[in-house]
């Protein structure tokens, strides 16, 4: 099937639209917060009323030719800001407007609104101000040193995915549930009955608001229909108006209704606040399949119409870049992508093979649309057929980094280990980059990246940070004080534990800030059992509540420790003093030492136990420091191993390292070996990467770059399938393939204009090559070359 | 007992079915003009140098090409890859150089691998006494057999040796081996003329007893040329360009007339 003219046009418009910053939301939010009414309300009701005010007053945007309607801003890629979360300064607006990468056009009108209305009101009142003033001085020191990042600094807690229930439920049904929950409130014995009442009231307001918002679209569509001269489009517009009158008020019954239903929900979530990983339809093939079958049998849906609807739906995601970030947060996630990850395949709730006709249709849509957003992944269960994997490889081979491959059995085991029931586990999947979650039932918050290599750097200097010139960690001795490798590891463990404590303490305060000031009654409607509990998503209302800290740089830290063990303590090739001198000079004049560190030292990624033992040791130290420690929402902290682009930021704050890496260069990403450190091919990488226990994480990321030659025929597909299944039989969580050659990338660097649509896999997600910083571009080129050699 | 090996390749997907481990054994009685593994010709370890660049400085490191491996070393490497070889229907391939030039080691390695249940393949020029082939036959699941030229004179000219022994061994394997895959390097101006191809096709048809599973047409490539510089050897292929894709497709059709599956590439 090829794309219709309609979809081609919308796709092209979306690709060509320039990201702009819109002041609409900021202004409306300011007006609401300034009103007398806002001051008199409880927090959840105030947020629900704010949500209602936004949806009542924001501009309705309907684009020519589209079938699925609704934009977060007044136009495609017009991106709102969230001053109640973080307030952009006039200087930030200048930077956003002029920076080379991931820029947003900011026009004079927006600047004027910011100067006159937004900044004067919100200064000192944003959650970012509140957050920073509540952190301890130890936290600030560690944050400034680049030990960890803070996810909630400029965005709201996110990481949740729509589950089965909401694809079969309308908001009128939810209103009934709310009514029942209110009736159930026990004011005699439940001291929180009043809080629950306020939360439920807020939820009810949010239901009304989203229904009203859909009806505003219906009115607008009817107006357009009345003016439309083309008969065919007129009919379409009237049909669309009918759909908007039905969903999301009532449960969807057709493919068209289901897609529009989801899209209103999506818009609701990303208008209410700016949660990390926007929002996600999750197991889309499973949700669509029953209505698709019903419609196909009834003859109400032909292939052309289906493709038009899906194409229009895909464009919607691409119209919505992630909100404009600044500072460290822009570095840790330097991208327009807002991390929607559509899941295909896997198993059904009863444990049987879930691959269906819709899985294949959506794979075709992914191939033909070839857009950055939404991202896509294939869940691969041992029960899924090889032909399904081959079809995915067919798309992977074209080199835009989608779909990525996930291990269904690992996802289920991870969720079961965390105490989810079997049905919730099977209905789960991954979102964002690689993060495991129970869809529709879990609030799994990512809280920040954790710079393991930097902590080893501090350990060598008695907890002192050379870059900021401050004592950041505890005094655990200088490098040369440690008489054995084990002693050094003990010091490293103390440092990791110390910073994990700081981070977790910070998290537990930040969670309370959101619970107290920024409840999300709309999002709470979507995640079970918030209504039943009368509790907000941000206060532990969900069935499962998890907090993650993401470990970064496993390949680098492993090679650093291995190098120390090998060169200092065992082979005694250099003394500590020699190595420290070399590191402090960034190897200038010590190239012979750097040479040996790079070329004559065992490295992670080659199925060499000598090196891989350190990966396991670091994993266990990190796991013990974080896993199982309570959060404030009735859940616990857990770990996962993924970097997004933070390995570049973390590298930029880390000096030269004992693995021979020069100061400021990127660290390794995910659980992949350091760039160029693996030289025995993909089977050895897989063996090394599976020595850590993936099942005790909430996701790991393994990136493998392949030249297109690995995808030339059926035999090579079978071999790649065997490779993936082998990794998954070792409990590997995720593997992704980047198919591209270095010359292409170099040319793209020289002539970005010719490669507007070149998408590469970065680390757990894909991005336009042109939007990556030069250092990240170079890193990807280097890795590619290494693979080709 | 030890074997001299100059390279071990994991995720080897062009030397027989599935994912394989390929051991490149050092030493070859032939000296084909187009050889892309010239470091495999001499049967002694060789010294070469590698330049590593670090921080703008160059480090020239002596490197020995060719290391001695015991059968246990071979088994240890293969066991680490077993997950992949088993799942993909792959196994272990001995290539080279000419693996049958180290017959005792090869036999011992094949026996040990078979005992452990690995699928085995031997990639050979066919130039070795018949006795050696008879000995390894029971422990070899697949032979990858090179056919380069049918004219003895031309064969001597291009490879330095007569093809008589090679063709005798080929007939032996076509009769008695479990499975054979023929590999024909396609070298423009050397063995790709119509007349020769016709003869080669007819020859294969006449010898086949049904165990020839595949013909791989391996188009000449220049990847080896840089190695000649590194090993200070004379590059005799100046001016020869890889065969055109169209030409390869024609040849594929041509050899398909044997009734055997034909594939371009390994």
Task: Provide the residue count of chain B.
Answer: 266
B164 touches chain A (CB under 8 A): no
Q: What is the pLDDT of residue A100?
A: 84
The strand pairing partners of A535, in sequence order, are none
Q: What is the pLDDT of residue A738?
A: 79
B59 touches chain A (CB under 8 A): yes
Annotated catalytic sites of A, by residue?
433, 435
Nearest CB neighbour to B88, from listed A681, A718, A729: A718
Tokens 């070393």 belong to residue: B73
A146, A653 Cβ separation under 8 angstroms:
yes
A736 SS3 class: strand
Nearest CB neighbour to B87, from listed A598, A710, A726: A726
Distances (CA, A) of A153 to A118, A133, A278, A328: 19, 12, 16, 10
A1 touches chain B (CB under 8 A): no
Please, what sign has the CA dihedral across residues A191, A195, A198, A199? negative
Nearest CB neighbour to A726, from listed B10, B17, B84: B84
Distance (Å, whole) CA A662 – CA B218: 43
Task: Give the gap in angstroms from C-alpha B152 to the nearest C-alpha of chain A.
Answer: 35
pLDDT at B179 over 90: yes
A707 touches chain B (CB under 8 A): no
Contacts of B223 (CB under 8 A, 6+ apart): B36
Task: Give the gap in angstroms from C-alpha A355 to the nearest C-alpha of chain B.
Answer: 22
Which of B235 and A366 is assigned the larger pLDDT?
A366
Distance (Å, whole) CA A344 – CA A362: 8
Please, what sign has the CA dihedral across residues B240, B244, B247, B248? positive
Distance (Å, whole) CA A683 – CA A520: 46
* φ/ψ of residue A43, rounded to 5: -55, -50
B38 SS3 class: helix
Q: What is the pLDDT of residue A788?
A: 55
Distance (Å, whole) CA A635 – CA B224: 59
Distance (Å, whole) CA A230 – CA A651: 57
Nearest CB neighbour to A599, from listed B9, B52, B55: B52
Nearest of B174, B196, B171 to residue B255 by alpha carbon: B196
Distance (Å, whole) CA A711 – CA A720: 8
Distance (Å, whole) CA A28 – CA A51: 10
Which of A328 and B206 is assigned the larger pLDDT?
B206
Neighbours of A311 (CB within 10 A): 24
- Which residues in chain A are closer than 8 Å to B17, comparing Cβ atoms? 715
Distance (Å, whole) CA A443 – CA A429: 13
Segments in chain A below pLDDT 70: 329, 332-333, 707-709, 753-759, 761-767, 783, 786-789
A488, A109 Cβ separation under 8 angstroms:
no
Q: What is the pLDDT of residue A754?
A: 63
Distances (CA, A) of B102 to A298, B78, B97, B108, B128: 71, 19, 10, 10, 10
Please answer yes or no on whether A723 and B19 come within 8 Å at the CB atom. Answer: yes
B55 touches chain A (CB under 8 A): yes
A712 touches chain B (CB under 8 A): yes
Tokens 């001051």 belong to residue: A39
Distance (Å, whole) CA A705 – CA A760: 10
Q: Which structure tokens are listed for B105?
A: 């080691």
B16 touches chain A (CB under 8 A): no
B266 touches chain A (CB under 8 A): no
Q: Which structure tokens are listed for A531?
A: 């209504």
B186, B220 Cβ separation under 8 angstroms:
yes
Q: What is the pLDDT of residue A395?
A: 92
Contacts of A421 (CB under 8 A, 6+ apart): none
Domains defined for chain B, CATH in brackets: 2-264 (3.20.20.70)
A726 touches chain B (CB under 8 A): yes
Per residue in A510-569, pLDDT tens? 999 999 999 999 999 999 999 999 999 999 999 999 999 999 999 999 999 999 999 999
∠ CA A735-B85-B41 to the nearest 5 degrees? Answer: 110
- Which residues in chain B are closer than 8 Å to A599, comparing Cβ atoms? 52, 59, 61
Mutate to test the interface with B, among A590, A607, A665, A683 (most CBs of B within 10 A): A683
Please answer yes or no on whether A723 and B9 come within 8 Å at the CB atom. Answer: no
Please, what sign has the CA dihedral across residues A109, A110, A115, A120? positive
Contacts of A196 (CB under 8 A, 6+ apart): A181, A185, A190, A533, A534, A535
A592 touches chain B (CB under 8 A): yes
Mutate to test the interface with B, among A600, A726, A787 (most CBs of B within 10 A): A726
Please answer yes or no on whether A719 and B13 come within 8 Å at the CB atom. Answer: yes
What's the pTM value of the predicted model, to 2 decimals?
0.94
- Which residues in chain A are closer than 8 Å to B214, comparing Cβ atoms? none
Mutate to test the interface with A, among B7, B8, B13 (most CBs of A within 10 A): B13
Q: What part of A 604-633 touches B (C-beta under 8 Å)?
A: 607
Please answer yes or no on whether A683 and B11 come within 8 Å at the CB atom. Answer: yes
Please answer yes or no on whether B87 and A725 come within 8 Å at the CB atom. Answer: yes
- Which residues in chain B are closer than 8 Å to A687, comparing Cβ atoms? 80
The strand pairing partners of B124, in sequence order, are B145
Task: Give the gap in angstroms from C-alpha A683 to the nearest C-alpha of chain B.
Answer: 6
Nearest of A112, A84, A86, A108 to residue A97 by alpha carbon: A108
Distance (Å, whole) CA A781 – CA A432: 24
A296 touches chain B (CB under 8 A): no
Please answer yes or no on whether B84 and A722 come within 8 Å at the CB atom. Answer: yes
Q: What is the pLDDT of residue A714?
A: 86
Cis peptide upstream of residue A18 (ω within 30 degrees of 0): no
Please answer yes or no on whether B59 and A595 come within 8 Å at the CB atom. Answer: yes
Task: Give the gap in angstroms from C-alpha B128 to the nearest C-alpha of chain A.
Answer: 31
Please answer yes or no on whether A680 and B10 come within 8 Å at the CB atom. Answer: yes
Distance (Å, whole) CA B235 – CA B200: 27
- Which residues in chain A are closer than 8 Å to B88, comparing Cβ atoms? 718-719, 722-723, 726
Please answer yes or no on whether B84 and A591 come within 8 Å at the CB atom. Answer: no
Domain boundaries, chain A: 1-82+88-123+162-270, 126-154+453-675
Nearest CB neighbour to B19, from listed A662, A719, A729: A719
Distances (CA, A) of A576 to A467, A485, A563, A583, B69: 20, 12, 12, 10, 36
**A566-570, A711-715, B60-64, B213-217: least confident range:** A711-715
Q: What is the pLDDT of residue A764?
A: 47
Task: Give the gap in angstroms from C-alpha B13 to the nearest C-alpha of chain A.
Answer: 7
Nearest CB neighbour to A607, from listed B18, B54, B80: B80
């Amino acid at each position: 099937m090829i794309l219709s003219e309609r979809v081609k046009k919308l796709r092209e418009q979306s690709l060509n639209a320039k990201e702009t910053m819109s002041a609409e939301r900021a202004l409306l939010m300011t007006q609401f917060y300034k009103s007398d009414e806002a001051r008199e309300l409880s927090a959840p009701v105030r947020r629900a009323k704010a949500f209602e005010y936004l949806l009542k007053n924001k501009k309705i945007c309907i684009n020519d030719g589209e079938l699925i309607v609704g934009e977060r801003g007044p136009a495609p890629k017009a991106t709102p800001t969230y001053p109640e979360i973080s307030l952009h300064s006039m200087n930030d607006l200048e930077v956003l407007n002029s920076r080379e990468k991931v820029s947003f056009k900011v026009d004079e009108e927006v600047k004027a609104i910011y100067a006159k209305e937004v900044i004067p009101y919100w200064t000192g009142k944003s959650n970012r101000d509140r957050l920073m003033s509540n952190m301890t001085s130890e936290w600030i020191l560690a944050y400034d040193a680049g030990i960890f990042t803070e996810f909630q600094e400029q965005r709201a807690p996110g990481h949740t995915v729509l589950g089965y229930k909401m694809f079969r439920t309308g908001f009128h049904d939810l209103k009934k549930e709310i009514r029942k929950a209110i009736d159930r409130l026990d004011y005699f014995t439940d001291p929180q009955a009043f809080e629950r009442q306020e939360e439920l009231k807020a939820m009810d307001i949010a239901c009304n608001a989203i229904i009203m918002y859909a009806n505003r679209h219906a009115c607008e569509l009817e107006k357009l229909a009345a003016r439309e001269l083309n008969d065919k489009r007129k009919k379409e517009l009237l049909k669309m108006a009918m759909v908007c009158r039905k969903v999301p008020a009532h449960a969807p019954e057709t493919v068209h209704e289901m897609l529009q239903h989801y899209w209103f929900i999506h818009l609701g979530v990303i208008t209410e606040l700016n949660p990390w990983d926007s929002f996600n339809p999750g197991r889309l093939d499973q949700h669509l399949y029953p209505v698709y079958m019903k419609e196909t049998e009834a003859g109400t849906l032909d292939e052309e119409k289906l493709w038009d609807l899906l194409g229009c739906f895909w464009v919607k995601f691409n119209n919505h870049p992630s909100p404009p970030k600044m500072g460290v947060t822009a570095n840790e996630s330097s991208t327009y992508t807002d991390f929607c990850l559509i899941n295909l395949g896997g198993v059904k709730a009863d444990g049987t093979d879930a691959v269906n006709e819709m899985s294949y249709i959506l794979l075709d849509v992914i191939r033909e649309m070839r857009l950055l957003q939404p991202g896509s992944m294939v869940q691969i269960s041992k029960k899924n057929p090889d032909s399904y994997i081959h079809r995915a490889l067919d798309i992977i081979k074209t080199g835009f980094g989608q779909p990525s491959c996930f291990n269904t059995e690992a996802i289920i085991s991870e969720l079961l280990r965390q105490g989810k029931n079997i049905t919730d586990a099977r209905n789960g999947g991954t979102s964002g980059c690689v993060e495991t979650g129970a869809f529709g039932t879990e609030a799994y918050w990512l809280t920040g990246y954790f710079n393991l290599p930097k902590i080893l750097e501090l350990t060598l200097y008695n907890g002192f940070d050379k870059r900021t010139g401050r004592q950041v960690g505890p005094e655990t001795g200088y490098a040369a004080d440690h008489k054995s490798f084990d002693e050094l590891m003990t010091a490293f463990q103390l440092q990791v534990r110390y910073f994990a404590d700081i981070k977790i303490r910070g998290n537990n305060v930040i969670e309370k800030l959101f619970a107290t000031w920024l409840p999300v009654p709309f999002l709470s409607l979507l995640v079970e059992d918030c209504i039943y509990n009368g509790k907000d998503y941000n206060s532990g209302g969900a069935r499962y509540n998890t907090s993650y800290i993401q470990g970064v740089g496993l390949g680098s830290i492993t090679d650093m420790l291995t190098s120390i063990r090998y060169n200092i303590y065992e082979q005694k090739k250099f003394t500590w003093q020699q190595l420290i001198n070399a590191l402090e000079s960034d190897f200038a004049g010590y190239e012979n030492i750097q040479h040996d560190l790079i070329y004559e030292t065992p490295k992670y990624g080659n199925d060499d136990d000598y090196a891989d033992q350190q990966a396991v040791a670091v994993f266990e130290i990190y796991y013990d420091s974080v896993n199982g420690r309570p959060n404030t929402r009735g859940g616990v902290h857990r770990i996962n191993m993924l970097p997004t682009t933070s390995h570049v930021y973390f590298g930029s704050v880390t000096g030269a390292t004992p693995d021979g890496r020069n100061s400021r260069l990127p660290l390794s990403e995910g659980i992949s070996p350091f760039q160029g450190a693996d030289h025995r091919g993909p089977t050895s990488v897989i063996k090394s990467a599976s020595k850590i226990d993936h099942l005790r994480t909430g996701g790991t990321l393994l990136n493998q770059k392949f030249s297109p030659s690995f995808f030339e025929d059926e035999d090579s597909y079978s071999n790649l399938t065997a490779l993936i299944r082998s990794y998954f039989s070792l409990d590997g969580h995720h593997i992704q393939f980047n198919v591209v050659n270095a010359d292409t990338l170099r040319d793209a660097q020289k002539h970005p204009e010719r490669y507007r649509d070149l998408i590469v896999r970065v680390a757990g997600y894909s991005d336009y090559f042109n939007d990556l910083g030069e250092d990240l571009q170079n890193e990807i080129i280097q890795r590619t070359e290494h693979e080709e050699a | 007992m030890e074997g001299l090996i100059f390279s071990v390749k994991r995720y080897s997907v062009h030397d027989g079915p599935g994912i394989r481990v390929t051991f490149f054994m050092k030493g070859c009685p032939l000296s084909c003009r187009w050889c892309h593994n010239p470091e495999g010709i001499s049967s002694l370890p060789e010294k070469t140098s590698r330049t590593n660049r670090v921080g703008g400085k160059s480090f020239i490191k002596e490197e020995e090409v060719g290391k001695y491996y015991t059968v246990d070393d071979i088994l240890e490497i293969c066991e680490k890859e077993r997950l992949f070889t088993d799942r993909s229907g792959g196994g272990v391939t001995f290539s080279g150089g000419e693996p049958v030039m180290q017959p005792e080691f090869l036999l011992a390695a094949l026996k040990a691998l078979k005992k452990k249940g690995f699928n085995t393949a031997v990639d050979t020029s066919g130039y070795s006494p018949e006795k050696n082939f008879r000995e390894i036959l029971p422990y070899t699941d697949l032979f990858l057999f090179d056919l380069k030229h049918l004219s003895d004179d031309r064969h001597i000219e291009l490879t330095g040796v007569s093809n008589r022994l090679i063709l005798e061994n080929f007939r032996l394997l076509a009769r008695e081996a479990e499975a054979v895959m023929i590999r024909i390097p396609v070298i423009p101006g050397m063995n790709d003329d119509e007349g020769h191809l016709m003869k080669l096709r007819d020859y294969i048809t006449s010898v086949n007893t049904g165990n020839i599973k595949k013909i791989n047409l391996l188009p000449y490539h220049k990847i080896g040329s840089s190695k000649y510089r590194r090993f200070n050897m004379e590059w005799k292929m100046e001016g020869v360009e890889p065969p055109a894709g169209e030409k390869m497709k024609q040849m594929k059709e041509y050899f398909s007339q044997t009734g055997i599956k034909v594939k371009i590439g390994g």
